[in-house]
């Protein structure tokens, strides 16, 4: 496994950068080259390369048998991942927009998550269901959902949300080699973002939270695109002398909460930032973990959440913009917390 200090430029020579979409594609390509049991299914993933281009070109390399365009049937995408996985394959399904994973729910929640348990541990269901969530593309309420917490609430499903290209590759490879169903939530706004991505296959273990930036004044726990926004906010705040620590859980379930708790012990303050609506969102889980831990004794401010408004995502770009946390909202909320305004 490679060092995770991927933000530090490598000493010698040019650093290879890939976009998040390219990193995901490379992970799938490398895994498929090594293992015939891995195959892809989804809508428009063949010649079209997927709605966001993630699988572009893979059908040319692996053929339409292993990169299979399916009917528009999300229940069958999930269900056939389960069937194939139970009998020794390692499918990777794609749900074109996370919104449409609602049509796969029964298969995921009542089947995939529970089969091993129901089989008394004698079965395993190793598949990955990749899907892009999130708003910011002007696609309104039924193409912008951020539904990770629905799956977090289901024991038996792993939920992964990479926030950058480096993590995307390493986490996807871990998800592919994991023997459990993994809901792999990508973000539309991250697909074109670049980071250093090593060419060799590397894994980032699931259930390992990551301190994306160190700071002393406030712990910001953020997921997916909000990690990037929190890091931008951190730059601005740093100019004012406020140093925030940004923790990225990366795997939401099962969660590695130690780095979060330790960070809060250090900073004494915590803010959770996510895109999904506030009520019933993942932030509640993080807040509860902190409040129930020894970090409670170190808190010198209420734990705050900054998340999506409790409304569907609107189409109009101005309305959409104001519906989910932006960099300036994080800056403002962090300032208030650090200045003791709560």
Partner 1 sequence: MATDLETRPGIDDSGVQLEAATLREMYWQMLRARRTDERAWVLHRQGKIAFHISGIGHEAIQVGAAFALRPGYDYALPYYRDLAFNLAWGYTPHDFMLALFGREGEPTSGARQMPSHWGTRSLNIISQSSPVATQVPQAAGVALAIKLRGEDRVAYTSLGEGSTSQGDFYEGMNWAGVHKLPLICVVENNIYAISVPVHLQMAVPNVADRAPMFGVEGVIVDGNDVLACYRVVKEAAERARSGGGATLIEAKTYRPTPHSSDDDDRTYRPREEVEQWKKRDPLARFQAYLLEAGILDEQAIADYEARAREEIDRAQAAAEAAPFPPPEAALGDVFAPVDETLRAEE
Ligand X SMILES: Cc1ncc(C[n+]2csc(CCOP(=O)(O)OP(=O)(O)O)c2C)c(N)n1
Binding mask 19-58 for ligand X (x = CB under 6 A): ------------------------x---------------
Residue 48 near which of ligand X, partner 1, none (CB within 5-8 Å, type-dependent): partner 1
- Residue 81's contacts (CB-CB under 8 Å, 6 or more residues apart) are 41, 91, 93, 112, 127, 129, 181
For the stretch 238-258, what's the b/e string if a residue is b when 16 or more beta carbons lie within 10 angstroms of its beta carbon? eeeebbbbbbbbbbbbebebe
Binding mask 81-100 for ligand X (x = CB under 6 A): ---------------x---x
Binding mask 25-64 for partner 1 (x = CB under 8 A): ------------------xx-xxxx-x-------------
89 vs 104: CA distance, rounded Å = 19
- Site for ligand X contains 140 (CB under 6 A): no
- Site for ligand X contains 107 (CB under 6 A): no
Residue 49 near which of ligand X, partner 1, none (CB within 5-8 Å, type-dependent): partner 1
Which of 143, 153, 196, 210 is catalytic? The answer is 143
Q: Which of 231, 323, 334, 338: binder of partner 1 (CB under 8 A)?
A: 323
Q: Is the peptide bond before 254 cis (omega within 30 degrees of 0)?
A: yes
210 is catalytic: no
Q: In what order do the strands lie in the sheet with 90-94?
A: 67-69, 38-42, 90-94, 128-133, 182-187, 158-160, 251-253
Q: At what angle do helices 282-291 and 258-267 cross, to 10 degrees?
A: 60
Q: Between 42 and 325, whose beta carbon lies closer to ligand X?
A: 42
Q: Percentages helix, strand, coil for the chain, rounded to the nearest 5? A: 40, 20, 40
Residues at the interface with ligand X (CB under 6 A)? 43, 72, 74, 96, 100, 103
Residues at the interface with partner 1 (CB under 8 A)? 43-44, 46-49, 51, 69-73, 75, 99-100, 102-103, 138-143, 309-312, 314-320, 322-323
């Amino acid at each position: 496994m490679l060092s995770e200090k991927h933000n530090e430029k490598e000493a010698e020579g040019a650093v290879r950068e890939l976009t998040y979409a390219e990193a995901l594609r490379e992970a799938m390509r490398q895994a498929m080259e090594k293992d015939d049991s891995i195959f892809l299914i989804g809508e428009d993933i063949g010649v079209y390369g997927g709605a966001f281009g993630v699988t572009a070109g893979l059908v040319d390399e692996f053929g339409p048998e292993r990169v299979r365009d399916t009917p528009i049937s999300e229940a069958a995408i999930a269900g056939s991942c389960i069937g194939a996985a139970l009998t020794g394959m390692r499918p990777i399904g794609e749900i074109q927009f996370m919104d449409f994973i609602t049509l796969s729910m029964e298969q995921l929640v009542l089947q995939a998550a529970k089969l091993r348990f129901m089989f008394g541990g004698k079965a395993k269901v190793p598949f990955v269901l990749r899907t892009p969530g999130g708003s910011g593309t002007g696609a309104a309420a039924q193409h912008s959902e951020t539904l990770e917490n629905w799956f977090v609430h289901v024991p038996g499903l792993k939920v992964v949300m990479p926030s950058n290209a480096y993590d995307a590759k390493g986490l996807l490879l871990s998800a592919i080699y994991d023997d459990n169903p993994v809901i792999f939530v990508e973000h539309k706004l991250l697909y074109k973002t670049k980071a250093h991505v090593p060419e060799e296959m590397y894994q980032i273990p699931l259930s390992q939270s990551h301190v994306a930036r160190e700071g002393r004044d406030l712990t910001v726990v953020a997921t997916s695109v909000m990690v990037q926004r929190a890091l931008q906010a951190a730059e601005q705040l740093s100019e004012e002398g406020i140093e925030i620590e940004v923790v990225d859980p990366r795997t939401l379930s099962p969660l590695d909460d130690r780095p979060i708790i330790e960070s809060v012990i250090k900073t004494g303050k915590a803010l959770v930032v996510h895109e999904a609506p506030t009520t019933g969102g993942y932030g509640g889980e993080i807040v509860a973990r902190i409040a129930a831990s020894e970090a409670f004794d170190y808190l010198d401010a209420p734990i705050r959440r900054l998340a999506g408004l409790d409304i569907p995502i609107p189409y109009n770009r101005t309305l959409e913009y104001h519906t989910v946390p932006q960099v300036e909202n994080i800056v403002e909320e962090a300032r208030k917390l650090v200045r003791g305004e709560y």
